[in-house]
Amino acid sequence: MGENYIVNEGKNETVTIDGVDYHRLAIKTHVITDKDNICDVAHHYAAEALKPGDILFITEKAVACTQKRAIPMSEIHPRPLAKFLCKFVYKNPYGIGLGIPETMEMALRECGTLRILFAAGVSAIGKLFGRRGWFYDIAGYKARSIDGPCSYTLPPYNHYVVLGPAEPDKTAKEISDRLGGFPVAITDINDLEGQILGTSSPDMDRGLLVKILKDNPLGQSLEQTPIGIIRAVK
């Protein structure tokens, strides 16, 4: 592949964190589906571009799609509870979250009804004190990672609900092994917030990675760049 990376429109190539400059290099791929193996995809597009000291990062959606965790909307039949609970979800311009019956239904299946109900109750209390985010603190990363279709979602996933990836740490390690040991992070970053779902090594600094990727250099629309490289400037 060579150095076939790009900087997405509206994003800066370099950020400075704690006095260190980091390049964030986005890599364009084909539309990843459940027919793909994520280790093979990472190797095909990134192996030749990686240099010593680099970190590869991959979006959680790309990983989940290869794990058959992208569910067509037409196959999800929300229960009445899902239709009720989604009405109380805070809507923001950066993603649909659990704000539609289909995504809430998948949260109930992924996390369990009792946990979602408890999270909803805690969230209601939090709102009385002007606090947001308590729902996801209780429901956990599986709920937070569920993506629903938006107007800017890359087809065909504008008709899918995509769950968080299964076993993200294990998957990151498998990708790292395929790449000859380069560190790998599986990320859930959008234009509002971010978290690191999996790393190939427990020694990787997740807090630093979130700082480096906070502005979502891979983009959130039709960029088709689900893989990127973090490269410290020497």
Element (DSSP H or E) covering residue 232: strand 227-232
Give the Å distances, CA to CA, from 82 to 11, 71, 89, 124, 163.
36, 16, 11, 16, 16
Mean of per-residue pLDDT scores for the chain = 91
The helix/strand/coil state of 57 is: strand
> What is the predicted pLDDT for the residue at 155?
86
Euclidean distance between CA atoms 175 and 22, whole angstroms = 22
Domains in the chain, CATH or no CATH each: 5-69+164-232 (3.30.1330.100), 71-162 (no CATH)
Chain centroid offset of residue 180 CA: 24
Would you call 222 exposed, middle or buried from its count of C-beta atoms within 10 A (0-12, 13-18, 19+)?
Answer: exposed
Euclidean distance between CA atoms 21 and 7, whole angstroms = 16
> What is the predicted pLDDT for the residue at 136?
87
Q: Which whole number is the average pLDDT over 209-233? A: 91
pTM over 0.75? The answer is yes
Widest distance between CA atoms in the chain: 56
pLDDT per residue as tens digits for the range 130-175: 887 788 889 988 998 898 888 778 888 999 999 999 999 999 999 9
Q: Which residue type does 183 have?
A: P
pLDDT per residue as tens digits for the range 179-207: 999 999 999 987 567 899 999 999 999 99
Give the pairing type, strands 184-189 and 55-59.
Answer: parallel
Cis peptide before 217 (omega within 30 of 0): no
Read off the tokens for 71.
């569910």
